[in-house]
Amino acid sequence: MSGPLLWLALDGVGHPQDAPPDSVWDTELPTLRPLIDAGYALDAALGVPGLPQSATGQACWLTGQDAVRVMGEHFGPQPGPTLRRLLDAASLPAELTQAGGHVALANFYPPGYFAAQASDQRRGRPRHGCFPYSALGAGLPLNPPDLPLVPPTLGLDHTAPWKPQWPRGDSARLGETLARTAQQCGYDLVMLDLWLSDTIGHLRGDPAPAAALAAGREYLRRVDALLAGVLAGGAAAVLSSDHGNLENLHTASHTRARVPLAWAGVADPSPLADVVQGGRWLRHTLGLTDDSFL
């Protein structure tokens, strides 16, 4: 493929088909929703009891391998030694980089993130999530200096009630600038680890807390705006999720809901059933054809 692929990796957003009535999905998403509806709802439970978690789910996407089977259970939020070994052996950013591809993780990491990592490191417990872990493993910097960086809060406060810090339209402008800059810099893949959705989904209360419902809808509208900007900037896009959570605010925990896979500007995949197949398709789409695809 030519031009950059922007991978919007949502954390903790189940598919609208598996959401209860009046969920966060019941809001105007003019760019995102048609792509979600035309895409696939993928199983994230992988035949294993319990609630899917971020580390195993994201490792499936990043490696195209069944990280839940490797781990023996759903596990998260950060990868431990077993999943780190899997990511070391077979992560998409590393393999694409080794194949001559140009890859970035365009999340903005504030200074506090690095301070927390340094203190965890001193205690022998590095706590990177799968995306920063695999970016660093591929030799890529966090906060790449040549790209406009995307705060994964998309301009909302990172704690409840997640008040907006900047207008939604800024997300569209940021997406467009990111797509154009990625094109100019010759990127093949730009990843975004969009985790605020999972944080919002963990707010406790039934009926669904009004603040979480409002913030969840606003976050999805900002994802919609970001995606619209990315496409206006001429990039292709893939949107995925690692497990359910935000789509069902009647529970503060994760869910076993299927997760969305949506795409624009890349060839349609043949039907896919689960997040492992989703990860394998993503590798294939980016030209990594060394593994037996489906």
How far CA 274 is from CA of 43, 64, 248, in Å, comes to 4, 10, 20
User: With CB under 5 A as the contact rule, which of the stretches 136-144, 185-193, 194-202, 228-236 interacts with Zn ion?
Assistant: 194-202
Binding residues with Zn ion: total (CB under 5 A): 1
Among 43, 66, 198, 242, binds Zn ion (CB under 5 A): 198
Residue 188 or residue 198: which is nearer to Zn ion going by CB? Answer: 198
Min CB(283)–Zn ion separation in Å: 25
Residue 193 or residue 198: which is nearer to Zn ion going by CB? Answer: 198
Residue 193 contacts residue 8 (beta carbons within 8 Å): no
CA–CA separation, 125 vs 272, rounded Å? 36
Told to check if 193 binds Zn ion by CB under 5 A, we report no
Query: Which one, of 103, 215, 231, 236, lies nearest residue 175 by Cα?
Result: 231
Residue 198 or residue 274: which is nearer to Zn ion going by CB? Answer: 198
Min CB(238)–Zn ion separation in Å: 21
Residue 43 or residue 198: which is nearer to Zn ion going by CB? Answer: 198
Residue 52 or residue 233: which is nearer to Zn ion going by CB? Answer: 52
User: With CB under 5 A as the contact rule, which of the stretches 33-41, 153-161, 190-198, 228-236 interacts with Zn ion?
Assistant: 190-198
Residue 104 or residue 212: which is nearer to Zn ion going by CB? Answer: 212
Question: Cβ-closest residue to Zn ion?
Answer: 198
Q: Which residues bind Zn ion (CB under 5 A)?
A: 198
